[in-house]
Structure 1
Amino acid sequence: MAAQFKFTSGINLVMITCSIVLSVPVYTMAQKADSVFITSKDLNTSVLREGTHRYLVYFRMKPGATRTNVSFWTRKIERSSYQGRQAIVITQEWEDKDTIMHTVRSVSDARTMAPLYHEYWWKQRLEAKFDFLKKTGEMNGTVLTASDTARIRKMSYDAFTASLPLEKFNWHIDLETFPLLPFREGVTFVIPFFDPGPSALTNAVYTVTGSAKLKGYDDQLVDCWLLAHETPGNKEVFWISKKTREVLQLVQEVNGSMWRYKIKLGFSE
């Protein structure tokens, strides 16, 4: 998902020991490049692990610097039914300092991962709902229409309606989409991602650049795929367990001046 960064002054930092510790990576580079434009037939939704999962998210202004803007993300995955369809429901709660700053509920088709419904709330900013079956959207309680002239509302309406006839996947649940991909050395995935809101659908490019290991509890080495995504001024590398397919870590570099980390905590419910 395209990152939205919001900094708050006066954050109290808490030293936290994480279960996943970055080890010196040993890369296995692929010898042959290939690419796949991802459609629903490429996704294996059976590997998605239900339950409640938590991530520690923080920034550094340079490598090794003190952590800042620490937050916790709770993401719950469950299989359910929605409008007579088998569905995967993913809820998110992002905690910043001592408050909840963002909540999300995303409903996707259990077989294809096509988005069925998406709603979100940002503290003191915005709330929105997008129903892909009814083809309706609203922001702050008001239905989006073609006659909207306010910039964000118009962009959101145009992006949403343009996406409706197209196959797509919800970018706001990227951490739950990556595990479903058909990983192999050197493959490049082109994923039609849409994050409901003012940004248009994007054919986002992610490449499996190799393999590396993360060190966890009891010096256990976790073999991971490295999935890289680059756009101007932005480079992301996701570490994805080959065994469980969970995203264990993200290391993101922004303009060479800021680094963001997502670390999966070593327990789920």
Structure 2
Amino acid sequence: MKVCSLLAGIAICLASSPAVAQQDTVKISSDMINTKVLKNGTHRYLVYFKLGKDSSRINYQLWSRTIDHLDYQGRKAISVTQEWEDNTKIVHKVYSVCDEKTFAPLYQKSEWTGRLNSTFNFLTKEGYVNDTLLTSADTARTKKQAYDGFQKAMNEYVLNWHLDLEVFPILPYKQGRTFLVNFYDPGFSSPAFQAYTVSGSATLTGYDNQEIECWLLTHTSRNNTETFWISKKTREVLKLEQVFGGRFRYKIKLGFSM
């Protein structure tokens, strides 16, 4: 009897052990997301790099991201307007429109100072790079890549990787769950599933010693680890710490929205 009790106890322990727990991996589809957590207003992030964990901060940027709900081409939609600025100028502007319910991309116009500009219209199925229409006849590497990626994205449920800070809030969080997100950044590579895992919980301290309970969302690739702090209450992305090749990048949400 003692042996049987001992074996039963071991079985119970093994069944509850994280090492043998059933893997919770979900491929994100349009019916899994909750866009109601996205609130109108301008939200700002301080972005900077560090060459080592204890080194000084460099390459500061301020990112402004304005969310709005609107009617777009006869359908309910959500727009996100981004401006990235350094200490002297605006380096990047992008206007994105997504379906209000599914958050699938409908339109994006992107401008980089001194670099590539592009427009992608998912309703008319037209993509432009530097005001030139992309076609199947394009042979230049960047244009062919942009065209092929756009064609594939129009035939799949994708989420805009350029809106990751708006995508993460709408996912169905659960401890230990891994999301497979079919991310697509218009104008770049074809859509691809990226794995993000709810790796734990943590607390951030805000103004007036406010304790903010967060989910930790982790994404890893070769020589790269990204950890996002997501408010459990509001679903806002409050912080990113990215480690790559011994260097660090941070995104810190400022303590107020406008």
- Which of these residues, 258, 261, 264, is aligned with residue 250 of structure 2? 261
- Which of these residues, 215, 219, 230, is aligned with residue 229 of structure 1? 219
- Measured against aligned partners, the alpha-carbon deviations of 1:12-40 in whole angstroms (never above 9, x if no partner) come to xxxxxxxxxxxxxxxxxx94430110011
Q: Which residue number in structure 1 is paired with residue 7 of structure 2?
A: none
Q: Distance in 1 between matches of 2:157 and 2:37?
A: 21
Matches within 5 A, 1:88-107: 88-107=78-97
Q: Distance in 2 between matches of 1:157 and 1:63?
A: 40
State the AA in 1 paired with 2:248.
Answer: W
Q: Which SS does the other structure have where 1:166 is aligned?
A: coil
Q: Is the radius of gyration larger for structure 1 or structure 2?
A: 2
Q: CA deviation at 1:217?
A: 0.9
Q: Distance in 1 between matches of 2:235 and 2:72?
A: 25
- Which of these residues, 76, 81, 101, is aligned with residue 71 of structure 2? 81
Q: Distance in 1 between matches of 2:110 and 2:250?
A: 23
Q: CA deviation at 1:221?
A: 1.1
Q: Distance in 2 between matches of 1:197 and 1:130?
A: 8
The ranges of structure 1 where at least 4 consecutive aligned residues each deviate by more than 4 angstroms after the TM superposition are: none
Q: Which residue number in structure 2 is paired with residue 139 of structure 1?
A: 129
Q: CA deviation at 1:241?
A: 0.3
Q: Distance in 1 between matches of 2:200 and 2:188?
A: 34
Q: Distance in 2 between matches of 1:63 and 1:206?
A: 23
Matches within 5 A, 1:175-254: 175-254=165-244
* TM-score computed with the length of structure 2 as normaliser: 0.91
Q: Which residue number in structure 2 is paired with residue 13 of structure 1?
A: none
Q: Which residue number in structure 2 is paired with residue 117 of structure 1?
A: 107
Q: Which residue number in structure 2 is paired with residue 18 of structure 1?
A: none
Q: Distance in 1 between matches of 2:40 and 2:195?
A: 27
Q: Which SS does the other structure have where 1:249 is aligned?
A: strand
RMSD, aligned CA: 1.0
- Measured against aligned partners, the alpha-carbon deviations of 1:165-208 in whole angstroms (never above 9, x if no partner) come to 11111110010011011101000000001001121101010000
Q: Distance in 2 between matches of 1:47 and 1:58?
A: 27
Q: Which SS does the other structure have where 1:267 is aligned?
A: coil
- Which of these residues, 151, 159, 163, is aligned with residue 153 of structure 2? 163
Q: Distance in 2 between matches of 1:186 and 1:162?
A: 31
- Which of these residues, 40, 43, 49, is aligned with residue 53 of structure 1? 43
Q: CA deviation at 1:151?
A: 1.1
Give the paired residue count.
239
Q: Percent identity?
A: 51
- Measured against aligned partners, the alpha-carbon deviations of 1:114-172 in whole angstroms (never above 9, x if no partner) come to 10001101110011000001110001111111111111011100110111111111110
- Which of these residues, 127, 138, 141, is aligned with residue 148 of structure 1? 138
Structure holding more helix per residue: 2
- Which of these residues, 27, 52, 57, is aligned with residue 37 of structure 1? 27
Q: Which SS does the other structure have where 2:148 is aligned?
A: helix
Q: Which residue number in structure 2 is paired with residue 68 of structure 1?
A: 58
Unaligned 5+ runs, structure 2: 1-16
Q: Which residue number in structure 1 is paired with residue 12 of structure 2?
A: none
Q: Distance in 2 between matches of 1:148 and 1:198?
A: 15
Q: Which SS does the other structure have where 2:142 is aligned?
A: helix
